[in-house]
Amino acid sequence: MNKKPEDQILVIFGASGDLTYRKLIPAIFDLYVQKSLPSNFVILGVARSNFSDETFREKMKEGIKQFSYFKDAKEEDLTGFLKMLDYLSINTDKSEDYAELKNKLEEIDKNKNTKGNYTFYLSTPPNLYPLVPKFLAQQGLNKEDGKSRKLVVEKPFGSDLKSAIELNNILLEDYDENQIYRMDHYLGKETVQNILVTRFANGIYEPLWNRNYIHHIEITAAESIGVENRGGYYDHSGALRDMVQNHLLQLVALVAMEPPMVLESDAIRNEKLKVFQALRPLAKDDLFKNVIRGQYLASNVKGAYMKGYREEKGVDPNSRTETYAAIKLFIDNWRWQGVPFYVRTGKRLPTRVSEIVIHFKPAPHNLFGDKEKLNDGNVLVLRIHPDEGILLKTDMKVPGSGYMVKKSNMDFHYSSWQDTYVPSAYERLLLDVMLGDSTLYSRGDAIEQTWKFVQPVLDFWQANPDAPLYGYPSGSWGPEHADNLIEGENMTWRYPCKNLSDDGIYCEL
């Protein structure tokens, strides 16, 4: 984090919202403490809420003290940072109000010497994604003319293939592709970026990273919480849109991509796009056999009642929205032909965990132990959350006579690097956009390709309302039918833990 971005104004639309309070401002404060922000830098919060500069700063101060990594920083640091925050109240869906925004930006440029460089961050409801950029362009705020003008768009980027294409087309009317940064906070996680290092910096892995040595790959993003207070939004989204189309398919691409020629944004994103283009389209038979959806049911866990999804606030009592989705998919290219990838995500599972599990093929001849364990090959686990690190499961001899074999763990945790600071996902991604590095942001063509892959599933569920929707008890690992996806005798998903912890949030991996 030694390189500093150029002087600029970061304009956050939706600045009175939860994302700004819990994630964006705390992450920017962490950058400030590490002296990674531009020399001349202003954050301009924009929203309808009637804050003054001072009341906005007071609210953000509370967020910093609660959610920043450096929440215990010196008071002088907090005071110095808060001076960088300004606020403007406008009606963000009225084009005429943007003249006031333009005047405010010009005033800040003059007083703070920010040189006309602007980054616009859309932390707004998705219905404003087409409007805000258009209104900015009407004021000429999209024009670079030797200056930097960038646009950050939060997910969801569209709700289906058609809407994603439409949104891309609308943005590209006024902005070049290299001005647009489509946010996926999963890509900012340190272990996600470490996938590339693990693969391409270690000679022991890359020769094995193909169909000849890997039996199958599973990718899990599990949450122990339910929909909380997001029932109204989630009931129109579901697990497939909320997690699979973006987060999980991005992880598939990082695991499966070919090595880029250089470590540059376009080179990496080109290789990821090739993976999306090689995803085997889901045929009608696949929609029945290789896609499992579920919905969590009420249950009692450790004496505590957990309500079912249809009991949640804002959810239709007859809802058929999935809170769990699992898919078996294939990548039709030279490296991965015939290797199944299994992805799953769900709410109200036993723990919050995100991980990638590489199952290597077993030794061709089983000399040791139970013949039933012939399929029990080595396993490499890339842990993305919560305990970031890498785990390799390998067979070792148990001391004593004979050749009894036992699985042993070769385990690395980022937390063991006690003198190493691991930045949050938003901290890394915000710094990257200020620097103009789009490597960890999704490109428009890639977004369209991922929607193209999942669209047949959405169409199938829409056309067949009676298609199976399996109930699963809160606190379980989802519908038991998902176990049947995994190919091979005595094979199933990796289960990091079996039961909910006492607080219902986390259990040891």
Q: What is the DSSP string of 166-228?
A: HHHHHHHTTS-GGGEEE--GGGGSHHHHHHHHHHHS-TTTGGGSSTTTEEEEEEEEE-SS--T
- The amino acid at residue 276 is F
Burial class (CB in 10 A: 0-12, 13-18, 19+), 257: buried
Give the SS3 label for residue 462: helix
H runs (alpha helix) in 332-386: none
Q: Is 359 a catalytic residue?
A: no
Catalytic residue among 247, 359, 365, 481: 247
DSSP code, position 358: E
**Measured between alpha carbons, how far is 360 from 216 in angstroms, rounded to an integer?**
7
Residue 95, pLDDT > 80, answer: yes
Residue 339, pLDDT > 90, answer: yes
Element (H, E) at 305: strand 304-306
The neighbouring-strand residues paired with 408 are 394
Q: Which domains does the chain have, with CATH numbers?
A: 8-154 (3.40.50.720), 187-485 (3.30.360.10)
Residue-wise pLDDT for 150-174, tens only, equals 999 998 899 999 999 999 999 999 9
DSSP structure string for 21-49:
IIIIHHHHHHHHHTT-S-SSEEEEEEESS
- The amino acid at residue 28 is I
The reported pTM is: 0.91
Q: What is residue 398's predicted lDDT score, i.e. its pLDDT?
A: 80
- The amino acid at residue 185 is H
Element (H, E) at 249: helix 249-256
C-alpha distances in Å from residue 371, one per residue of 184, 324, 368 = 44, 35, 8
Alpha-carbon dihedral 167, 173, 175, 181, rounded to 10 degrees = 10
| Position 397 confidence tier, pLDDT thresholds 50, 70, 90 | confident
Of 140-149, 304-313, 468-477, 481-490, the poorest mean pLDDT is in 481-490
Give the contacts of 289 (CB within 8 A, at least 6 positions apart): none
- Whole-number average pLDDT of the chain: 90
Residue 44, number of CB atoms within 10 A of its CB = 24
Give the contacts of 51 (CB within 8 A, at least 6 positions apart): 16, 45, 59, 87, 89
Residue-wise pLDDT for 342-352, tens only, equals 999 999 999 88
Mean pLDDT throughout 104-116?
A: 96
Structure tokens at 228: 């909380």
Of 158-167, 191-200, 401-410, the poorest mean pLDDT is in 401-410
Question: Strand ranges (DSSP E) for 334-475?
Answer: 341-346, 353-360, 379-385, 389-397, 405-413, 470-473
C-alpha distances in Å from residue 228, one per residue of 224, 246, 263, 320, 324 = 11, 21, 40, 18, 15
| Position 276 confidence tier, pLDDT thresholds 50, 70, 90 | very high
Residue-wise pLDDT for 365-384, tens only, equals 777 766 555 457 889 999 88
Which residue carries 């710094």 as its tokens?
431
Burial class (CB in 10 A: 0-12, 13-18, 19+), 399: exposed
For 358, phi and psi rounded to 5 degrees? -100, 115
Structure tokens at 382: 């890339």
**Measured between alpha carbons, how far is 238 from 250 in angstroms, rounded to an integer?**
18
In terms of pLDDT, which residue wins out, 431 or 391? Answer: 431
